[in-house]
């Protein structure tokens, strides 16, 4: 039988709404102005993530709550006429200003063009994307298109390779008309990434991991010189080819006013550490931002790993040898 919910005492109403599953509360909030107003308090309690996983024929939607003891909600939306039925219905909760703590993640395991059938409409509707993982496509234009479309995603991971011979047949600079704003950017096949991209396209990101990169030592110095002037990057890792010894690299670091230091990594180990990576402290010119720059020879000694990190602890200066 119907329940006259408005006749319940306010405390009882709030208790009931606090226990509702996300979509039940959302549906209640949309029924009237009174219900929307009453739902505001309970909606703020909801924390969770809506994950979309794109396969060739279906869009798998899962809502996982971090704040309420409900089983994850799993829905499979079938593709019909190049669209997924009811996708807006299930994502509308994220578009509601009441549910600010509910995030959206998107993953795909299909050809790139099929993935964009889902992704582009979501972006056009204004759904903020927390995480996006794009993979299994080998297309230069698609790499640029994905990165520009997802420039505001909190976390973006690209597992995609450029086409063979891209150096001679594709311009990887001109299509990037804006800087990315990702908090975390991971590129699995970054051989196409140049110092220009780090300086101009990635400068507003915070954490950057570039795997299979092909930087030269001169690129590293150019990136660091630019970072001193302006950048929000606070963590970065890649591999580069040195032109000389570690001492030669250190001399170039001193030229850009990077101070030789030693990181206190012994605190992470119970046994004494025989060697510590060469490190330098670098500070931006117009801010108080400081990062620790470290390099490490790789197994073949032909390449070195580069790391930048804002989180570090240093040994006292008397233990540092310039």
- Domain assignment present for residue 132? The answer is no
Query: Using CA atoms, how far apart are residues 3 and 1, in angstroms rounded to an integer?
Result: 7
Higher pLDDT, 174 or 264: 174
CB 144 within 8 A of CB 176: yes
Stretch among 9-18, 178-187, 267-276 having the lowest mean pLDDT: 267-276
Q: What is the pTM of this model?
A: 0.74
Task: Give the tens place of pLDDT for each residue, 42-54.
Answer: 988 888 877 777 6
Q: What is the percent of the chain where pLDDT is above 70?
A: 79
Q: Which domain holds residue 272?
A: 244-322
Q: How many domains does the chain have?
A: 1
Q: What is the 3-state secondary structure (H, E, C) of 109-162?
A: CCCHHHHHHHHHHHHHCCCCCCEEEEECCCCHHHHHHHHHHCCCCCEEEEECCC
CB 81 within 8 A of CB 88: no
Residue 236 reports pLDDT greater than 70: yes
Distances (CA, A) of 30 to 91, 126, 239, 294: 14, 19, 52, 54
- Domain assignment present for residue 58? The answer is no
Closest C-alpha among 252, 268, 274 to residue 311: 268
Residue 56 reports pLDDT greater than 70: no
- Domain assignment present for residue 37? The answer is no
- Domain assignment present for residue 312? The answer is yes
- Domain assignment present for residue 256? The answer is yes
- Domain assignment present for residue 92? The answer is no
pLDDT at residue 112, rounded to an integer: 58
- Domain assignment present for residue 273? The answer is yes
């Amino acid at each position: 039988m119907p329940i006259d919910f408005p006749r319940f005492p306010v405390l009882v109403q709030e208790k009931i709404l606090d226990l509702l599953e996300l979509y039940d509360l959302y549906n209640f909030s949309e029924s009237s102005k009174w219900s929307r107003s009453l739902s505001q308090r309970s909606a703020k309690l909801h924390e969770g993530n809506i994950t979309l996983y794109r396969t060739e024929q279906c869009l798998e939607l899962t809502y996982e709550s971090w704040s309420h003891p409900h089983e994850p909600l799993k829905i499979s939306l079938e593709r019909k006429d190049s669209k997924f039925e009811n996708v807006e219905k299930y994502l509308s909760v994220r578009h509601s200003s009441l549910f600010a703590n509910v995030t959206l993640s998107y993953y795909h395991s299909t050809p790139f063009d099929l993935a964009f059938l889902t992704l582009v409409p979501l972006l056009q509707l204004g759904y903020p994307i927390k995480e996006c993982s794009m993979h299994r496509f080998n297309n230069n234009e698609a790499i640029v298109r994905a990165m520009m479309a997802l420039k505001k995603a909190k976390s973006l991971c690209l597992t995609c390779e450029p086409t063979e011979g891209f150096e001679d047949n594709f311009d990887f600079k001109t299509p990037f008309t804006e800087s990315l704003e990702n908090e975390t950017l991971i590129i699995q096949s970054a051989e196409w990434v140049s110092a220009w991209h780090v300086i101009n396209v990635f400068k507003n990101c915070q954490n950057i991991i570039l795997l299979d990169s092909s930087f030269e030592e001169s690129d590293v110095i150019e990136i660091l010189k630019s970072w001193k002037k302006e950048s929000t990057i606070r963590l970065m890792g890649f591999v580069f080819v040195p032109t000389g010894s570690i001492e030669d690299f250190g001399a170039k670091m001193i030229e850009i006013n990077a101070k030789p230091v030693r990181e206190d990594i012994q605190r992470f180990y119970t046994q004494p550490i025989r060697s510590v990576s060469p490190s330098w402290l670098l500070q931006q010119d117009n801010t108080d931002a400081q990062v620790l720059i470290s390099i490490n020879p790789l197994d073949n000694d032909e390449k070195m790993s580069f790391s930048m990190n804002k989180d570090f602890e240093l040994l006292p200066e008397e233990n540092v040898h310039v």
